[in-house]
């Protein structure tokens, strides 16, 4: 080989190597979580590793439709979304791939990840009971099931059944009690409503504070956000079902897309998101509990007291979602 040809060959090889390196140093994420909740995490990862994170944010439905439409041409390496029901849908539609990782298996408890390792919970939210502390005492409360008792008639507020959070809670009740008993519970809730269902948890919590109702069910981080803005509101948290299987928990989580171009880079990012540093950021940014049990929650959350989680695998929220939606409709839960 002549010196000129050798030089051209070396330059070409170097260019290919640099191009491969550049590609390997970028991970593309589709996220149903808001930018303000994920960008600080990605910035921290880039600062630590040098890997650039490109991300697109949208609702979970459009993102999954986009992944299906793009198929093998998708630029996305990872999907992040809220609620195990949505994560299950993504896996069930063939949008994710299994991940073999001793790090993730060590950091994320079995009940907070897909049994087939296609997605992993990264932060935890409890959907529990909240009450007007001027009208009720904690000793008046016990469980989700008890809220169906006629003693709560005209005192209960709920968010709409159209939101996946309530669908997942109902799915978990089906897994525990079966459809017949769960339908009785949901019908009891509907009979006890003080007013029409609410579009979101925050409005429902404000209704409890205003005395429009006395008790309701919401995600913990909505309570945390509201009380930071209005700390004098007469709303208290009650950990449901502590004398039974425990409070219903759900996750935000992530999986590697089926056609990820940078699978190795996506797995490294996913593993990092389960690490101490990232888990602390999760709990600081959105008042969620870390999925990694080795990491302590933010002191503001710890002030709400300890609670026992229901250890049913959150994957059931997806598996039983269709049954839950049909049951809620039959029960008249709008």
How many CA atoms lie within 13 Å of 77's alpha carbon, on the beta-carbon side?
Answer: 20
User: Can you tell me the distance from the alpha carbon of 113 to that of 120, in angstroms, rounded to the nearest whole number?
Assistant: 4
User: Can you tell me the distance from the alpha carbon of 221 to that of 227, in angstroms, rounded to the nearest whole number?
Assistant: 10
Q: In Å, how far from its chain's centre is CA 172?
A: 15
Q: In Å, how far from its chain's centre is CA 137?
A: 30
User: Can you tell me the distance from the alpha carbon of 20 to that of 14, in angstroms, rounded to the nearest whole number?
Assistant: 10
User: Can you tell me the distance from the alpha carbon of 4 to that of 18, in angstroms, rounded to the nearest whole number?
Assistant: 21
Element (H, E) at 130: strand 120-132
In the 8-state DSSP scheme, what is residue 309? B
User: Can you tell me the distance from the alpha carbon of 277 to that of 272, in angstroms, rounded to the nearest whole number?
Assistant: 8
Q: State yes or no: 221 annotated in a binding site.
A: yes
Q: State yes or no: 222 annotated in a binding site.
A: yes
Sign of CA dihedral 324, 328, 329, 333: negative
- H helices within the chain, ranges in order? 3-24, 35-49, 60-70, 84-92, 102-107, 164-177, 179-192, 201-210, 220-229, 263-273, 276-286, 299-302, 316-319, 321-330
In the 8-state DSSP scheme, what is residue 265? H
Torsion angle defined by CA atoms of residues 51, 279, 256 and 218, in that order, rounded to the nearest 10 degrees = -140
- Give me the DSSP letters along 48-97: HH--EEEEEE--HHHHHHHHHHHGGG---SEEEEESHHHHHHHHHTT-B-
Q: In Å, how far from its chain's centre is CA 184?
A: 27
Known binding residues for Fe cation: 221-222
Known binding residues: 221-222
């Amino acid at each position: 080989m002549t010196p000129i040809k050798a030089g051209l060959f070396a330059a070409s090889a170097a260019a290919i190597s640099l191009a491969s390196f550049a590609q390997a140093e970028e991970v593309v994420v589709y996220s149903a979580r808001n930018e303000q909740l994920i960008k600080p995490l990605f910035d921290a990862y880039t600062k630590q590793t040098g890997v650039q994170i490109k991300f697109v944010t949208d609702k979970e439905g459009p993102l999954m439709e986009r992944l299906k439409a793009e198929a093998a041409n998708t630029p996305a390496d990872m999907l992040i979304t809220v609620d195990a029901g949505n994560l299950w849908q993504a896996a069930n539609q063939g949008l994710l791939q299994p991940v073999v990782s001793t790090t993730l298996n060590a950091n994320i408890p079995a009940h907070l990840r897909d049994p087939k390792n296609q997605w992993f919970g990264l932060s935890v939210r409890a959907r529990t009971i909240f009450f007007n502390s001027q009208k009720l005492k904690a000793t008046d409360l016990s469980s989700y099931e008890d809220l169906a008792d006629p003693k709560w008639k005209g005192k209960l507020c709920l968010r709409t059944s159209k939101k996946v959070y309530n669908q997942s809670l109902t799915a978990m009740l089906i897994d525990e009690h079966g459809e017949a008993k769960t339908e009785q519970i949901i019908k009891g809730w509907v009979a006890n409503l003080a007013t029409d269902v609410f579009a979101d948890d925050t409005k429902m919590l404000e209704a409890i504070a205003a005395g429009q109702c006395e008790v309701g069910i919401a995600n913990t981080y909505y309570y945390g956000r509201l009380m930071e803005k209005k700390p004098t509101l007469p709303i208290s948290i009650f950990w449901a079902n502590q004398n039974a299987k425990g409070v219903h928990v759900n996750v935000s989580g992530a999986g590697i897309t089926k056609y990820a171009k940078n699978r190795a880079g996506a797995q490294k990012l996913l593993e990092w998101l389960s690490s101490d540093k990232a888990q602390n950021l999760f709990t600081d940014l959105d008042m969620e509990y870390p999925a990694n049990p080795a990491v302590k929650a933010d002191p503001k959350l710890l002030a709400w007291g300890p609670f026992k989680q229901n250890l049913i695998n959150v994957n059931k929220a997806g598996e039983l979602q269709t049954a839950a939606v049909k049951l809620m409709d039959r029960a008249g839960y709008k």
